[in-house]
Amino acid sequence: MCFRFDARPPDLPAGRALARIAGGAAAERLLLTSGDGTEFAAALAESAQPAGPAVVVLPDVRGLYRFYVELAERLAEAGHHAIAFDYFGRTAGAEPRDEDFDYSEHIPRTSAEQIQLDLAAARGALAERTGAASFVSLGFCFGGTHSFIAATRPELGLDGAIGFYGLLDPARSGRASNRPSPIEHAAETRVPVLGLFGGADQNIPAEDIAAFDRGLERAGVPHEITTYPGAPHSFFDRRQEDYADASADAWARLLDFLDRLPARVA
């Protein structure tokens, strides 16, 4: 299971908000054009006090909805311009959607190449609008897998990649057709990686996490892999109080990872 439609991002760790966004409504909805001409939706949150790399957010299987708009805003509060984008411009249009949207009909109609094209367009918009010169991908679930794959694509111009519970062996869920395996592509990784996983996530067993870790190690890729014992898939949710400690630690590791990346200027 991925996030519920009413999920909310956990609060930032104490002291990490550089500029609180009044009312939590700072993200601007955008209509972007992908490399193949497709129009798709995105939400941009600009930081009032940018202090690190900008972040391109790849949502879970639901695409762009409130959770990821708010997540972009929290990242902006922490000093990182952020943009979250939607996957379904080609099949569902670019309008906002409610809880009844049947994403399961649209996920199989995406492709890895289309998602990377959209990521590139989102990164370009982030650079154009904010002047950012350093970029990190941050993905969840379906987006986590594609964030790890983005780390193998030097043409995207990323400086790091983060994945929350991204499926590492898509064949386990019968979804290999549009999700390349990060384990198989680990040797191609070109930027530092942070991977965060739930120990009770049945689709991402410990042996897959260990295989991904070994692949990155053999490739000489700087990386950090953390598994939270007992935490399920999509534990990073303010409403899941039982996993508040895991969420707080994941936030801290995410922000520390961003802090450690070398700064670049335009």
pLDDT for 91-116, tens place per residue? 999 999 999 999 999 999 999 999 99
Give pLDDT, residue 89: 97
Number of domains in the chain: 1
pTM of the complete model: 0.94
3 within domain boundaries = no
Give pLDDT, residue 23: 40
64 within domain boundaries = yes
205 within domain boundaries = yes
Report the DSSP pairing between strands 160-164 and 193-198: parallel
195 within domain boundaries = yes
pLDDT for 158-182, tens place per residue? 999 999 999 999 888 766 566 899 9
Domain that holds residue 148: 26-260
Give pLDDT, residue 222: 97
18 within domain boundaries = no
Q: Does the structure show a pLDDT above 70 at 12?
A: yes
Q: What is the CATH number of the domain that holds 132?
A: 3.40.50.1820
4 within domain boundaries = no
What six digits make up the tokens of 12? 């930032």
pLDDT for 123-171, tens place per residue? 999 999 999 999 999 999 999 999 999 999 999 999 999 999 999 998 8
13 within domain boundaries = no
Residue 4 burial class via C-beta count within 10 angstroms: exposed 0-12, middle 13-18, buried 19 and up: middle
Give pLDDT, residue 177: 62
State the Cα–Cα distance between residues 36 and 93, nearest whole angstrom.
15
Of 159, 156, 139, give the one whose Cα is nearest residue 148: 139
121 within domain boundaries = yes
Instruction: Decide: 42 and 85 in contact? Cβ < 8 Å.
Output: yes
Give pLDDT, residue 170: 87
